[in-house]
Structure 1
Amino acid sequence: MTTSADGSWLTTIVDAVVGLMHIIGAPGAGLAIALENLFPPLPSEVILPMAGLAASQGTFTLFEAIAWTTAGSVVGALALYCLGAWLGVARLRAIAAKVPLLHPEDIDRTVEWFQKHGGKAVFFGRMIPLFRSLISIPAGVTRMPLWRFLGLTLVGSAIWNSVFVVAGFLLGESWHVVEQYADILQYVVIAAVVVGVSWFIVARVRQLRDRRPDLDAA
């Protein structure tokens, strides 16, 4: 199995994943994906195709690659779910009250939305870069039934992982092609997040400016 040698942090991560797969086989890929869930900067879009590449070279089977990476996804998501459950609504409202431009009511509205659409958010969120990990936290905060959370996470993760693992399996040493297309999706998501956050900040600042004359008059 070959990797690039450009000396970047990505190369270091890739080499570490390759080492895990050589040492402990498919469980190494599962461990790498579990860590990717806890630390989103780790690129699942690289780890998963490499697991497929290893399967194509006979290091382990394709089924093992998908099963272990999906198990890793569930374990990592469960850890973040527990973090969300520990935080809870009360702690988040207290934090929001101390953060500029945020209000406790923002947490209430978010919780209300998640209680209505949490199932779809968890399922589809498992297939969106960045949100794949973060979506588990509000699920824990709202105490989504654990069996439902695990089921949705399992199915959503299995679909996402299978696409990338199979792509790596079929492409072999050309697995880098998958990374290129995945990068485009990630950039789109990042751009959407930046636009959304910018819109929220502008709207909240305007709201504060509109309220200031009323407060001065009082």
Structure 2
Amino acid sequence: MSTQTDLTGVAGWAVDLMERLGGPGAALAIASENLFPPIPSEIILPLAGFTASQGTFTLAGAIAWTTAGSVVGALLLYTLGALLGRTRFRALWARLPLVDLADLDRTEAWFDRHGRKAIFFGRMIPIFRSLISIPAGIERMSVVVFTLLTLAGSLLWNSVFVIAGYQLGENWHRVEPYADTFQKVVIGVVAVAMLWFVVQRVRRNRARARASTPSV
């Protein structure tokens, strides 16, 4: 099969990798997306499904290998966060291209507020799905809990796009507009959840303040 000759850039690289290495190539491609966020999983995952539809590996294999790649990539970043600590990692992150400290700040703030939920839902949000592993490592979240939450979130996210790419075949690129819409929906749900959390926290604090105020 010469599919890679018809594709360029990230898409061509990903398909070539998967055709050469099979399932492990799909895992390596999606692990790279975790380690280098500007590589879009919304392209790699449908391509893994498309490559599976061409017989390079099975649909189940595509889902399993990409999910394994997601978990491995996340664990590497978790380990990096644990080893470097917050101060040293921020200094290193500031030197990386195409990302900035504001991304890391937002990820850390979200993790502080939402903990385990942040790990699960973070797998479905651009940039966050990579960065969310770092504060988990810095805070030394249980590795078992982190791995299970990452596995569950990645399995859900990867399955949607791999299956879509498999069903669409050579029209895999049609997934991208839906991926963008899906991501916006997820971000909207998270924003509503965060707003609800803030409102509940403000109400609780006000109730405590009223209760602690002596009556005249």
Taking the TM superposition and a 5 Å limit, the aligned residue runs for 1:168-183 are 168-183=165-180
2:130 is the alignment partner of 1:158: no
2:52 is the alignment partner of 1:55: yes
Q: Structure 2 counterpart of 1:163, which letter? A: V
State the 4+ residue runs in structure 1 displaced beyond 6 angstroms.
92-95
From 102, 112, 117, the counterpart of 2:114: 117
Calculate the TM-score normalised by the size of structure 1: 0.70
Do the aligned partners of residues 171 and 116 (structure 1) sit closer, same or farther apart at CA in structure 2, a change above 3 Å counting? same
Structure-2 separation of matches of 1:46 and 1:118: 28
CA deviation profile, 1:124-148 (whole Å, cap 9, x unmatched):
0011111110100010010000000
The DSSP-based 3-state class of the residue aligned with 1:175 is helix
2:28 is the alignment partner of 1:31: yes
- Tell me if structure 1 keeps the 8 A contact 2:111–2:132: no
The DSSP-based 3-state class of the residue aligned with 2:115 is helix
CA deviation profile, 1:52-72 (whole Å, cap 9, x unmatched):
011112111001000000000
- Tell me if structure 1 keeps the 8 A contact 2:4–2:13: no
Measured after TM superposition, the shift of residue 114 of structure 1 is: 3.6
- Tell me if structure 1 keeps the 8 A contact 2:4–2:16: no
Structure-1 separation of matches of 2:164 and 2:37: 21
- Any stretches of 5+ residues in structure 1 without a counterpart? 96-101, 194-218
Do the aligned partners of residues 119 and 56 (structure 1) sit closer, same or farther apart at CA in structure 2, a change above 3 Å counting? same
- RMSD over aligned CA atoms reads 3.0
Residue-pair matches, total: 174
- Tell me if structure 1 keeps the 8 A contact 2:124–2:183: no
- Any stretches of 5+ residues in structure 2 without a counterpart? 93-100, 192-216
Measured after TM superposition, the shift of residue 187 of structure 1 is: 7.3
Do the aligned partners of residues 92 and 53 (structure 1) sit closer, same or farther apart at CA in structure 2, a change above 3 Å counting? closer
